[in-house]
Structure 1
């Protein structure tokens, strides 16, 4: 009987914790980790607090976020962002060498729980796969995901 009550209490606590997590995600949709399975790329960002560290590249300090790939150690850093309402952000992005930059918009769709990254100008996002450059499409859909460890 005790274990039954203990199980009920654990379930209730997890439901409350999940509800609070969902509520905070809706309130701050641009503090997230999102992933695209097809290209194995992700965005780790917090456009509110500027507190993201690029793994293995501490020289950059805290940034708004970065675009990375599971199969490539290079990163594209978000250098500035402007929130356009609650579900859209305009981004300025630069590669980690500083030789290429681009502008993009990131739009959150709360009904589908997806994000659309649309490159609007400048260089194309690209990653290296099997020693060849792969251009990322100018519009790509990403979904919330648990953090993926880089191979590097």
Structure 2
């Protein structure tokens, strides 16, 4: 269990505050439908923000997740590591596609997918299961994992690295 001894004031950080803390560009879907809402999630190690996940939802329906990761600093006593297999398992569970918890990664089909990062298409290895796909691309030290239903893949997989406003 992860414990945080800091009191929670009920206020969630804004997109700009998350970007300022992350200090690196955050991957976003280039052009999501207007009815999709963005929700920002954060994961860290030793107080260092390693991952920013942007969840896209329409009403109560989960449409996809775009995760941006950076490595923990060398002084960190623990690391944080995300994989397309892990992200797909979480997505399938959260979307209600899997009714009985996470699926073992061995159930995933290995395939290829195209992810467009900043206008540059990249054909990359991917995993799929239950009509959903997860694929990873890298840019320098950043890793981007796109996960979502195949029906929305063309929208979800066209991502841009958004830099923090000055």
TM above 0.5, yes or no, is no
Which TM class, normalised by the smaller chain length?
A: 0.3 to 0.5
Q: TM-score, normalised by structure 2?
A: 0.32
- Greater RCO between the two (CA within 8 Å, min separation 6)? 2
Select the structure of larger CA radius of gyration. 1
